[in-house]
Amino acid sequence: GENVEQHPSTLSVQEGDSAVIKCTYSDSASNYFPWYKQELGKGPQLIIDIRSNVGEKKDQRIAVTLNKTAKHFSLHITETQPEDSAVYFCAATPTYNNNDMRFGAGTRLTVKP
C-alpha cells in the first residue's frame, strides 16, 4: 500500500519568512495529494490539494508543487503569519476514494512574531 513520509517534523520561522514542507510517496499510482492544517484542539482542515495532471497550484499565500517522476510534493507558505502556526499533514491516494488515502506524520510549524 501507499506510504507517505513527511519532513521536517518541526519547523520554526520568523513572521514574514517562507516555510516549505516536503513529502514523498511510494505508490507511483497515486494521483491525488491533499494538504491539511490542524490547529490545537481541532480536526484537520483541507487547505489545498493537487492532482497528478498538474505540476503546481497556488491559492493566495500557499502553493503546492508535485514532481511525479521523483514521487515528491511540497507545500510552500509565503509571508507567514502567526495564525499559520499549526500542524500540517500531507496525504496521498492512488484512487479518488478517501478510504485509500494515507497521511504523513505531520509537521509542526511555529511562526514567531
Q: 63 near 57, Cβ under 8 Å? A: yes
Residues in contact with other proteins, total (CB under 8 A)? 21
Distance between CA 65 and CA 96 in Å, rounded?
A: 19
Hey, which residues between 45 and 64 contact other proteins (CB under 8 A)?
A: 45-46
Asked if residue 94 binds other proteins (CB under 8 A), the reply is no
Asked if residue 109 binds other proteins (CB under 8 A), the reply is no
Q: Please choose, out of 50-58, 60-68, 75-83, 88-96, the segment that lies near other proteins by the rule CB under 8 A.
A: 88-96
User: What are the backbone dihedrals phi and psi of residue 85, each rounded to the nearest 5 degrees, phi first?
Assistant: -60, 125
| Amino acid at residue number 43 | G
**Which residues would be at the binding site for other proteins (CB under 8 A)?**
4, 6, 9, 41-46, 89, 91, 96-99, 101-106
